[in-house]
Amino acid sequence: MSKRADHSRARSSSLKIALDEIEHDPKHHLVGALAPKRLLANVESGTSTPVPAHEVAESSFWNDLITVGWIQRPSSAAKLLVLPVLLAFNWSIAAPKHENFWLNIFLITNKRPDSPDGIPYYAKSYWDIAFVAYYIVFFSWFRETLGGYILIPLARRWGIRRPSKLDRIVEQGYAVVYFTASGSLGLWTMYAYLPTWYFRTEHAWIGYPHWEMPGTLKLYYLLQTAYWLQQFLLLLMGVEKRRRDFYELVAHHIVTLWMVIWSYLMNMTRTGNIIFLTMDWSDVFLSLSKCFNYLQMERTKSVAFAWFTAFWTYSRHYLNFWILYSHWYEFDLIDEDKRVWSPADGLWMPWWMKHQMFFALFALQLLNIFWYYLIWRILLRAVFSSTLDDDRSDDEDDEPAPKGKRD
């Protein structure tokens, strides 16, 4: 066997270990809360027994309703989702001439009567709270259903058997699906309905306040809120196995929720759309590389990780530096009489808000730079080192590559 072949395999092995470090080493936890770790079915004598989410024991619907068990059981979540739909259907038959308020639970509300033809515009509404609550349940159902009926069977056909690795396939596969859908909706909204295409940041300030928004933008914002609240709920309930970076994950969730909720309230949804687009797509490529890593698809995994690194560089640094520039220098594009604190009039932009928003984003950029340093350190070690110590905490997850499944 040639030395060149040995060196090639050593580099491939090094890259596999490097990607594994990202998953298992808290210092390399780049995706934060986008993927819940392990669902715990029971805790006895202080020992947690991880059970794949799709194998959690069934319970009565009323017990799941009281204990929030529906977050792990898709059958109970499905009943909660169907109930308002049935009530809305019955109301449309029993009282067709009256407003069907049941629809407000699962459809966006407060459409503006003066919307331009073909582009319905919406404003905020107290019904948005019910909408977000409904889709917290929806995301719980969707994740477990996607895992149990699609991702788990596919992984088993590929030769994956260990419950812990099956759970990780579900986590990262769900992340790929969610962030691809979310990123696509956000990108389409910017392209089709907003003057900010393609990242023309000056239009985030011109014409403020933007308290009316295209329907797809309102849908995008409320779904983002529901998704991150559902992730935060998993942490608070202790459903996930607590890792050493637990408090960092909590902080990540809080900052994310602060950004999406506060920008929605302040009528800064155009800026929020820009920022979320820079974050979502890099997570898609990272989760893809993790999935390929679990399936032991060496070359495909390496290509996905390279795309992730390139896209992270562009979106989380180049575009984010431009966003920082916009917050510091383009803030004054807001009309002077609108730069006041008057929530009743939809105005939340006094002079000091410029500094608050800038330094919050600057702190986020510092965190991205730290992660970027780790990405390149791991990548360079994988490329130029023939060996790399594997100090993972989950060595028991390794299993032989399925025959005929390597690419």
Task: List the structure tokens of 25.
Answer: 């080493």
Decide the pairing of beta strands 347-348 and 213-214. unpaired
Please state, in angstroms and as integers, the Cα–Cα distance from residue 177 to each residue in 147, 173, 220, 377, following that order. 11, 6, 15, 28
Condensed to tens digits (0 to 9), the pLDDT of residues 173-200 reads: 999 999 999 999 999 999 999 999 999 9
**Taking a C-beta distance cutoff of 8 angstroms, is the pair 70, 59 a contact?**
no
**What distance in Å separates the CA atoms of residue 204 and residue 196, rounded to the nearest whole number?**
7
Helix H or strand E encompassing 67: helix 61-67
In a domain? residue 402: no
In a domain? residue 136: yes
- The half-sphere exposure of 342 on its side-chain side, counting CA atoms within 13 A, is 8
**What distance in Å separates the CA atoms of residue 74 and residue 79, rounded to the nearest whole number?**
9
**What distance in Å separates the CA atoms of residue 298 and residue 103, rounded to the nearest whole number?**
48
Helix H or strand E encompassing 173: helix 163-193
Name the nearest CA neighbour of 212 among 193, 197, 228: 193
In a domain? residue 133: yes
**What distance in Å separates the CA atoms of residue 249 and residue 36, rounded to the nearest whole number?**
10
In a domain? residue 314: yes
Residues paired with residue 348 on neighbouring β-strands, in sequence order:
341
In a domain? residue 18: yes
Q: Domain residues for 188?
A: 3-397
Condensed to tens digits (0 to 9), the pLDDT of residues 348-368 reads: 999 999 998 898 888 888 878
In a domain? residue 248: yes
What string of pLDDT tens digits covers the 407 residues of the chain?
A: 555 555 555 555 555 555 555 555 544 444 433 333 333 333 333 333 334 444 555 568 888 888 788 888 888 999 999 999 999 999 999 998 899 999 999 999 999 988 877 789 999 999 999 999 999 999 999 998 999 999 999 999 988 888 878 888 888 899 999 999 999 999 999 999 999 999 999 999 999 999 899 999 999 999 999 999 998 887 787 665 566 656 766 777 787 888 889 899 999 999 999 999 998 888 898 888 888 888 888 788 888 888 888 999 999 999 999 999 999 999 999 999 999 999 988 899 999 999 988 988 888 888 788 878 888 887 887 777 643 333 333 444 445 444 444 45
Domain total for the chain? 1
Condensed to tens digits (0 to 9), the pLDDT of residues 283-328 reads: 898 888 888 888 888 788 888 888 888 999 999 999 999 999 999 9
In a domain? residue 404: no
Helix H or strand E encompassing 326: helix 319-329
